[in-house]
Amino acid sequence: FGMMQAVGHVDFYPNGGKDQPGCNADPVTQILIQGGIYDGTKQFIACNHLRAYEYFTESINSQCPFEGYSCDSFDHFQDGTCHLDCTVPGGCGKMGYHADELKSVKSAYGKKFFMKTTSRAPYCEYHYALRVTLGNPSGSYQWRGELRANIHGTNGQLGERVVTDDYVYFNPGQSYSFLIAVPHNIGEIRDVSLHWVHHGISINPFQWNPFHLRHPELFFQSVEVVAGDSFQKIKFCGTGGTESNSQRTLSTKC
């Protein structure tokens, strides 16, 4: 019913190539969405497979480029550790109708390209990679929690969203990478808002703070933003990572 092996000059794996967003609905829901028993049943049985021609059809005249990015795995793509670099030959490529633009790019041959899509037509999303670097002032600690981010641009904003998959530990002086995909292009990037929310864990005594003698906080030193679809790469800096700022907007380029 399908294969994961790379068999083309280049191979595209939207959402990892397996389970597609919007394909986990039950039969009744699919029938209601599709407006009939036949189409609803077809979508319930073969929704993931049917996305292939739906993505291709949407790619023909789409303003959103259906850009895929070279990466060794979908897991690494999702966690933001792969580069969204379209300035390098073979670093990215358009899935669907315009995929033949890669024919002349010999360095792209044999590569796997990944992307995310939405659950409904027109499916295409724009991808943004964040690399957040924490400061390490005296007296700072490791804390556990979730990180939320919002990017503002000339055409709007992403809207604040959680970028961590779960509650994670943040260590002073370390850098962390994340990937955000949204269905609209925010234009020229202006600033990035970061919001960290502490969440302790009962089995780790170092995370205990029963009398609120310590104040869980992160120190945002810098954040680098890469907008893969518009070839933007911008770094915003804070105040050297020495000022408490668990909720902060960085707008000074560095």
Q: Which residue has the tokens 């044999």?
A: 110
Contact 14, 1 (CB under 8 A): no
pTM over 0.85: yes
- Give the total residue count for the chain: 254
Contact 51, 122 (CB under 8 A): no
pLDDT of the chain along its 254 residues, tens only? Answer: 678 899 999 999 999 998 999 888 766 666 666 666 666 666 667 889 899 999 999 999 999 999 999 999 999 999 999 989 898 999 999 999 999 999 999 999 999 999 999 999 999 999 999 999 998 876 677 888 999 999 999 999 999 999 998 888 899 999 999 999 999 999 999 999 999 988 876 566 655 555 555 567 888 999 999 999 888 999 999 865 545 567 889 999 99
* C-alpha neighbours within 13 Å on the C-beta side of residue 200: 15
